[in-house]
Amino acid sequence: MTTGLLASVTSVAEALIVLECGADIIDLKNPQEGALGALPLSTIQEIVHAIAGRKPVSATIGDLPMHPGQIASAVEKTAAAGVDIVKIGFFGQVGHPECIGAVAPLTAGGVKVVAVLFADIDPDFGLLPLLSQAGFHGVMLDTAAKNGIRLGDSLDEKSLRQFVDLSRSLGLLTGLAGSLSISDIPKLAEISPSYLGFRGALCRNSNRNNGLDRSHLAHAVEVLRKSNTSQQKTVEYQQPLLLVPF
């Protein structure tokens, strides 16, 4: 399975750089407003217009409390701005099933929603069946604290693989993010998530609050391309040889 690259952007200019460099998903986020800080709806609309359907566009709703009505309203407004996917952060430990239920009518109406669980705050993988039943499009793992703690500092490879495999078995798109570096790509690509998400590693001086660095982004795209090719060759090599009689 091929893994795609999700690149988080803050402006039309950054979105066009991501489009040009060949990332697979253009993700709209305001890193100065938290782990999943939201951009203004007007900025989201501008970026959607500029991309014009050439790549899928996702957007976060912000670091909101787990209040079902507030979550559902934010999802509805963000979807109305024209994005392809809306991302919800599941913060804390309470209110998650209620928020999933509040969003279910929107997914039934065709809104593609991705849940974001946080590796550094004891993510509940028991929510995965609920997300699938509620019609969520996908689920990803990220880190809530943007203080240098990385995805691998909180969950080991076995746990990440279990997350991806269980999510996929439930029909959910899968994503891994959380202060990833470009050097993480080959190992994480072996787990075969649907995509890997980046912000800081693609920015100047690897600081998520700085602007994107085109060379970093191009390098990430190339490393992932090579990793996907290597992974595909490994899978083909492991396939059993079929002997066809003449």
Q: CA–CA distance from 239 to each of 164, 229, 233, 236, 242 (Å)?
A: 22, 16, 10, 5, 9
What is the reported pTM?
0.92
**What is the Cα Rg of the chain in Å?**
18
Euclidean distance between CA atoms 121 and 114, whole angstroms: 18
Task: Sort 236 into a burial class: Cβ within 10 Å, 0-12 / 13-18 / 19+.
Answer: exposed
pLDDT for the residue numbered 144: 94
Q: Which of 55, 77, 87, 226 is catalytic?
A: 87
Q: CA torsion angle for 128, 132, 136, 142 (degrees, to 10)?
A: 20
pLDDT tens profile 115-166: 999 999 999 999 999 999 999 999 999 999 877 789 999 999 999 999 999 9
Which token pair is 132?
């699938």
pLDDT for the residue numbered 170: 98
pLDDT tens profile 39-54: 999 999 999 999 999 9
Question: Over the chain, what is the mean pLDDT?
Answer: 93
**87: annotated active-site residue:** yes
What structural domains and CATH numbers belong to the chain? 4-238 (3.20.20.70)
Q: Which of 29, 55, 146, 187 is catalytic?
A: 29
Amino acid at 230: S
